[in-house]
Structures are given as C-alpha cells and as structure tokens.
Amino acid sequence: MPKVRVLIADDSVVIRRLLSDCLGQDPEIEVAGTAANGSIALAKIEQLNPDLVTLDVEMPVLNGLETLAAIRKIRPRLPVIMFSTLTERGAATTLDALTLGANDYVSKPSNTGSVSVSLQLIKEEMVPKIKALCRPMPRCARPTRPVVPGASSMPVGQIAVVAIGVSTGGPNALSVLLPGLVRPFPVPVLLVQHMPPLFTRLLADRLSSVSARSVREAYAGAVVRPSEVWVAPGGYHMEVRREDGTVKLWTHQGPPENSCRPAVDVLFRSVAQTFGSGSVAVVLTGMGQDGLRGCEHIREAGGRILVQDEGSSVVWGMPGAVAQAGLADRILPLSQLSAEINRLAGVEPKADETRGREGVLGPMHEP
C-alpha cells in the first residue's frame, strides 16, 4: 500500500522539524514537503499533490483560515488537519477552521522542555488522525451479527434521555443534528465530543447559538432537565446519577477509556444504568471505537441505538464499529437523524423549525 504523503505548513522551523521527524518515523507516512506560509503551501499542493495537509493557524502572508478557504476552492476533498495552540484564541480559531472545512485538528504540545516528549505527544495525536482520514476502515455490507430480537422494545414517545457520542467531524455534525430537534425537546440531551479543555466550552456556546436552545458545558451536581443539552467538559468524564428522585451530572478525571477523556463509553454506561430502557444512544462521525462498549450496555438495558451512516461521516470509525457489531437499530444519514430522534420522542417539529438549517457553526467573535 502506498505511503500517505503529507505536506506540513507551519511558519516555525522548530515545529516543521518536529512534525517531519515524527511523521517520518512511521512506515506508512511520507513527508512530501514543507511550507513556511500559506502561499507557499498552496503552490506546493499543486506541485506535490499530497494526500493530506497539516496547517498551522498563525502564519504570515496567508494565515491558516485563509489558506484553508483557498484549499477548499481548489481541492475540496483534500484532508486538512489544523495544528493550533491550546489557548482560548487557538480553540476559537480552530472551531472556525472546522466550520470552513478542516477535517480535524491537533493541539500543539506546550513547552515541555523535552523534544522527545513533544515528539511522543505529536505521534499519539497526529499519526492516528492522518491514518483515519486517509486509510478508511474496510466497508462491511451488513452487520457482523444480527440485532438482538426484541432488545429495543420501548414504545415511541416514552424515551427518557438522548445520549450522543461524536469525535472527528463532530462540531459540524452537531450543528446539523441539534437544530433539527423539536423545541422544547421533551427529554435532556447529553453529549460527549472528543475535545480538550477550552474547546468544549466554546463549542457549547456555538451550539447554543445555532440551535436556539440551552447548550452548556457540564459541571458536577447540575440537575438534568428536559430540553437542556449538556456537553462533557474537556479532560473530564461525564456521568449521570439518580439521587432522591433527581438525575444529576457527575464529572470526574477517572482513567481515560479508549485513550479518551471524556469518553463516550463512560457516559453511555451511566445512561444505561440510570435511564434503562428509556435510553437512546446516538453515535456520530469519529475515529476509533469509543461508544461501542457503551452501546452494548444500552442494548442490554433495552434502549435504542442510532448511528450515522458512512456516506455522511467524516470518519466512519465510531459509528461503523457499532453498526458492524450489529448493535444499531437504524443506520441513517446525518440529515435524517434529527427526524428519527423526534419520532422516537413522539414529537413533530413546527413548520418554522424545518427551515434555514445550514448545519454550519457560525464564527466565534473574540471579546
């Protein structure tokens, strides 16, 4: 199999060297070239025809967002991974990049004082994402085992919660899904998006804006109520617990699962235990298999499981794993998932709620 050819665009000589050294160590990846700014990157894309581009956010001549917009005009399907600082400004700009069509992002390692530590951090974050975007998982025409008959038997309109798990491609997928849910929605919505601290709070703010509903970053002790959407905070797992007849959120820094914190499996397990057969799990686009084990718990509890189809997913890793395990009740395009969730909840959208959904996060205006 040919190597994945990567173009690295970054104005820092140190970062270009770090990335080149790191990626060059993987036998499946080849560094096709480097560029010190966006203008040079555009020229080298035409010259080198890379399989993927890593793009710095802050660059002279053309910055990351400007370069990304230009790439999307000439190469709309070329995978792009943003490489940004783990700061509020960097997080906001990264979300802007995802809106403009970036496929994923990696946060630059902080000043650790050790080149070896930086190399390891980049390797752990960047390499799997490059492979996921350029080496999709093999297709499976049908589930590897049948759905358990009668396991999901809840009557329509009697659900108690919707739990969502998502990773690569998540921000834009959520900006399509959430606005399509009826307002007010009769049950709470809990979601895990694989993102670091800062990113999740800004994501919640944006989703609140585009979906015209309450979307907040979760905190320990928050009471779970209908129509509210809670986003697991970066760096913390999110669970639900029933206390004296009230369901509350619990956030903690337990060990990562599937190399993730927050992890979808952690949320789904607690949802199955707390809400039982009233649970609806939704697995959207993302790399890896986080959510698979949690869906097994949802299935055992008698809940329902919906997954995004391959054609509308940026990466069909997480939803594909659930589908191929035979756990999904329905495998649907992203554009149809909201309607199916509404149907399970026994509600129908009003006429004005079915118009004007572009499914794109608006820009984040810095204060």
| Among 99, 100, 92, residue whose Cα is nearest residue 67 | 100
Two tokens, residue 180:
């399509």
User: How far is the CA of 1 from the CAs of 28, 314, 334, in angstroms?
Assistant: 8, 22, 31
| Among 23, 258, 34, residue whose Cα is nearest residue 119 | 23
d(CA 361, CA 178): 11
Active site residues: 167, 194, 290
Two tokens, residue 311:
């054609």
d(CA 199, CA 171): 10
Sheet harboring 330-332: ordered strands across?
Answer: 215-217, 229-231, 189-193, 161-166, 279-283, 304-308, 330-332
Is residue 181 within 8 A of residue 175, CB to CB? The reply is: no
| Among 58, 353, 366, residue whose Cα is nearest residue 179 | 353
Exposure class string for 15-32: b at 16+ Cβ within 10 A, else e:
bbebbbebbeebeebbbb
E strand map for 108-188: 161-166
| Among 301, 260, 261, 266, residue whose Cα is nearest residue 280 | 301
Helix (H, G, I), strand (E, B) or coil at 279: strand
Exposure class string for 178-215: b at 16+ Cβ within 10 A, else e:
bbbbbeebebbbbbbbbbeebbbbbbbbbbbebbebeb
C-alpha triplet 42, 87, 17: angle, nearest 5°: 45
106 φ/ψ angles, rounded to the nearest 5 degrees: -135, 135
d(CA 216, CA 206): 10
